[in-house]
Amino acid sequence: MKKKKSQKLLWFILISLFVIYMGLYIANSTGYYESKINDRVKLTNETIRKFENDIANGKDVTIDDYLEKETKDYSNKASKLGLNISQKVEEFMTTGLSKMLKVIGKLFT
């Protein structure tokens, strides 16, 4: 009975890996990644031309005018909770360890 379950699990893993491989292979062969990279390069080249034109025209330029602004906020309640917990743990560890090391230092002096 155990052998059947392990064989089914093995086949499931192998088929899943094959499907993932085929998906990545097709995406690569159709040029999906290259088109995404070309879009970024095109945008960068256009931004460089705009920057050079603005400098040639004597405009006041700042770097913020030419950088892409990321407006996507992927935070949710779980990520905010995780961030708050990690900040509290960091604060506790920083203050707690420094106090503990001071106590240990006083014991040996």
Tell me: the pLDDT tens digits for 52-103? 888 888 888 777 776 666 667 778 888 889 889 999 998 888 888 888 888 8
With a CB cutoff of 8 Å and minimum separation 6, the contacts of 68 are: 43
Question: How far apart (Å, rounded) are the C-alpha atoms in residues 52 and 44?
Answer: 12
Whether the pTM exceeds 0.75: the reply is: no
